[in-house]
Structure 1
Amino acid sequence: ALILMDVVMPNLNGFQATRTISKDPETAHIPIVLVTTKDQETDKVWGLRQGAKAYVTKPIKEEELIGVLKKLLPA
């Protein structure tokens, strides 16, 4: 399992959702990849601090996403 999550969402943003999922013992094992148009370095650092395993900016480069998925998913 793996979660691809946008950062900009109504009500609960992706940073908040990532923090919640990564801190819950029942879901902490699921890697989260934030996929977003927010391309500032501070956003990336913040997303990783919230528990994301990777941060990919839109428009998504296919090779980059495949590399991230290969790194995070078991063979």
Structure 2
Amino acid sequence: MSLFNADEMKGKWKQQVGQAKLVWGKLTEDELLEAEGREDKLAGLVQERYAITREEAEKQVKEFFGKK
């Protein structure tokens, strides 16, 4: 991933934080911003906060990003 794409992803993520907060209300805005839209980091936070399996957390994150 080029530096431009990484910066672009971070910028888009900041726009999606509000939507992510609606989906995962137990996560703080700071935690969501810190995840920077990285699926692995976000899945870890979701797994920890909601006490669900890693597989379920990854599924939720993929659905959020519109991936199957």
Do both proteins adopt the same fold according to a TM-score greater than 0.5, normalized to the shorter chain? no
More helix, by proportion: 2
Q: Greater RCO between the two (CA within 8 Å, min separation 6)?
A: 1
